[in-house]
Structure 1
Amino acid sequence: MGNTKTADITDDEILGGATEGLPRYLVIKNHLLDQIRSGQLSTGDKAESENALAKRFDVSRLTVQRAVRELVTEGRLTRVQGSGTFVAPKPKGFSLFEVQDLAREIELQGGEPHTDVLIQRQLVPEKKVCDLLELDDGEPVFEAVLLQRNGDTPIAIEDRYARCDVFPNFLEKDFSQESLYDYFSRRTELGQLETTLSAIMPYPLTCQRLGLGSGDPCLHLERRNRVDGRVVTLSRFTFAGSRFNLTSSYNAAAQF
């Protein structure tokens, strides 16, 4: 394994600036991701210990452990018993069950992410969306439709719905500059994720947005986030099938 590398960060970076309002575990998670993205930490390098991170960010080890655990689950870090935590090899595809921040996924794989906001509004949605979000009749929600690109190449369309009472300042945000995933994370936690994956023939507008031919298939991933028994977000990802790989890892030994 490689050497341990640390990066100097200021109090402003820890306590304010772009991290202001983020849960502490997410600040630490983003800090580690930024080190990987910038090349300060490369594949095989040893990350700072949990004790060092807890001291650096003035948090408990439990907070650090949550950040590290999520990065291990997402395949960014790997733990070696008795040795520490190391940067994992770059994924060959996008995780089926952990797709959250597509722009960051693209960047971590060496791409040039760009986010275009196509729609950002409040509406009373169609019945299917109402049923999936378990809304009362006539209850409005917020919606954002984002086009994720790698350079000039369209990769996926995100169609995200959010409850108005949980995300009251949704319409004030610029999601071309701010990660929608980070915004959601500041307001609520990841609870029970209910995911459905299917192959679809896209509508003409989707083909136009993704630059596809009329016969090109897409992968469609639909996910609900249920917190304390209540669905708080509904996310629909439509991927250009020929430009995108979804992967999944399952540890069967953990079930015994």
Structure 2
Amino acid sequence: MSTPKTPAKPHYLRIRDFILDGIRNRTFAPGARIPPEVELARQFGVSRMTVNKAIRDLAEAGVLLRFAGDGTYVAERKAESPLLDVNNIAEEIASRGHAYHAEVHFVQQEAASEEVALRLGLPVAAPVFHSLIVHFEDDTPIQLEDRYLNPQWAPDYLAQNFSRETPNAYLMRTCPLSDVEHTVEAVLPDSSEQQLLRLAAAEPCLRVLRRTWSGKHLVSFARLLHPGSQYKLRSQTRVRKT
């Protein structure tokens, strides 16, 4: 008995996959113009109508942007994080096929300010651990993490190498998350934040204020600042029918 032949992939899907592969391997970088339809039609030996279908599908999916009389470009895709979850940013970036690294500006002990003491439920001037880290996706700063911890629940925090392991990964390993509180707001960063995130003066940011508990213990308070032009937060809720 002969083996059934696998149906040939439709021409428009071959063109679509060619463009997607070019985006994944950075042959077509964000903002780059892809080859004109007539050139792709000649390359694949198909009609322009077939090429147009492939490009139209990718444009409808938000992968490409089409401009009449100018051409078709790779869309600048914003990084996306789930709003209600607490994920490891290094894993998020790796899942998008990009390279992660961190710049650790400091990890130190200091006296809690009035705001930090209130957020962590501690007396003013109580000792707290404080870290300031910038997380990068490829070579682009994607998050400024300004985190405070109660030393009682993470006593070895200062000894960690956060260029190798994120604070999130360390805390999930040593004092697993049980509860989280989020507040999200749009802000204009101050001059030091602009410098750390390499932002123009007028570029807005998304700021997430996050407190986390492990069991009954309030462990951490963090300010997470994301460039608004490169980041979005997503939430999905399932509504139960009654």
TM-score, normalised relative to structure 2: 0.64
Structure 1 unmatched ranges of 5 or more? 1-90
What amino acid maps onto 1:197 in structure 2? V
The Cα offsets for residues 146-177 of structure 1, whole Å up to 9 and x where unpaired, read as 10111211111011111111111111110001
Structure 2 partner of 1:231:
218
* Secondary structure of 1:242 counterpart: coil
- Is it true that 1:250 corresponds to 2:229 in the alignment? no
Q: Give the aligned residue type for 2:153.
A: V
- The verdict on how the C-alpha distance between 1:228 and 1:150 changes in structure 2, with shifts beyond 3 A counting, is closer
State the SS of the aligned residue for 2:229: helix
Asked whether 1:138 is paired with 2:125, we answer yes
1:121 and 2:108 correspond: yes
Choose 1 or 2 for highest CA Rg: 2
Taking the aligned partners of 2:79 and 2:140, their CA distance within structure 1 comes to 18
Q: Which runs of 4+ in 1 moved over 6 A?
A: none
Q: How many residues align?
A: 165
Q: Partners of 1:149 and 1:228 in 2: how far apart?
A: 31
Deviation at 1:92? Answer: 7.2
Cα distance in 1 for residues equivalent to 2:80 and 2:154: 31
Q: Please, which of 161, 173, 176 is the counterpart of residue 189 of structure 1?
A: 176
| Equivalent residue in structure 2 for 1:101, among 66, 88, 95 | 88
- Deviation for aligned residue 1:187: 2.0
Q: 2: CA distance between counterparts of 1:215 and 1:164? A: 37
**Match for residue 156 of structure 2 among 164, 169, 173:** 169
Alpha-carbon distance in structure 2 between the residues aligned to 1:99 and 1:189: 11
Question: 2 CA distance for matches of 1:217 and 1:165?
Answer: 36
Separation in structure 2 between the aligned mates of residue 201 and residue 168 of structure 1, nearest angstrom: 34
Percent identical residues:
30
CA distance in 2, matches of 1:137, 1:158: 22
Q: 2:79 touches 2:230 (CA, 8 Å); kept in 1?
A: no
**Contact 2:80/2:231 (8 A) holds in 1:** yes
Structure 1 pair 241–230 and aligned structure 2 pair: CA distance change class (3 A) = same
- 1:252 counterpart SS class: coil
* 3-state DSSP of counterpart to 1:214: coil
Q: After superposition, give the CA deviation of every residue in 1:13-66 in whole Å (9 maximum; x if it has no partner).
A: xxxxxxxxxxxxxxxxxxxxxxxxxxxxxxxxxxxxxxxxxxxxxxxxxxxxxx
Report SS of the residue matched to 2:122: coil
Letter in 2 for 1:160: R
The question of whether the paired residues in 1 share the 8 Å contact of 2:149 and 2:219 is answered with yes
Please give the alpha-carbon distance, in whole angstroms, between the structure 1 residues aligned to 2:121 and 2:169: 24
**C-alpha displacement at 1:229, in angstroms?**
3.7
Structure 2 CA distance, aligned partners of 1:117 and 1:178? 11
Query: 1:191 Cα deviation (Å)?
Result: 1.9
Structure 2, unpaired ranges of 5+: 1-77
1:61-99 residue CA offsets vs partner (Å, 9 max, x unmatched)? xxxxxxxxxxxxxxxxxxxxxxxxxxxxxx972111114
Secondary structure at 1:159 match in 2: strand
Deviation larger for 187-196 or 126-135: 187-196
Secondary structure of 2:165's aligned partner: coil
Separation (CA, whole Å) in 1 of partners of 2:217 and 2:138: 37
Match for residue 17 of structure 2? Answer: none
Shift of 1:122: 0.4
Cα-Cα RMSD: 1.7
Which structure features the higher share of helix residues? Answer: 1
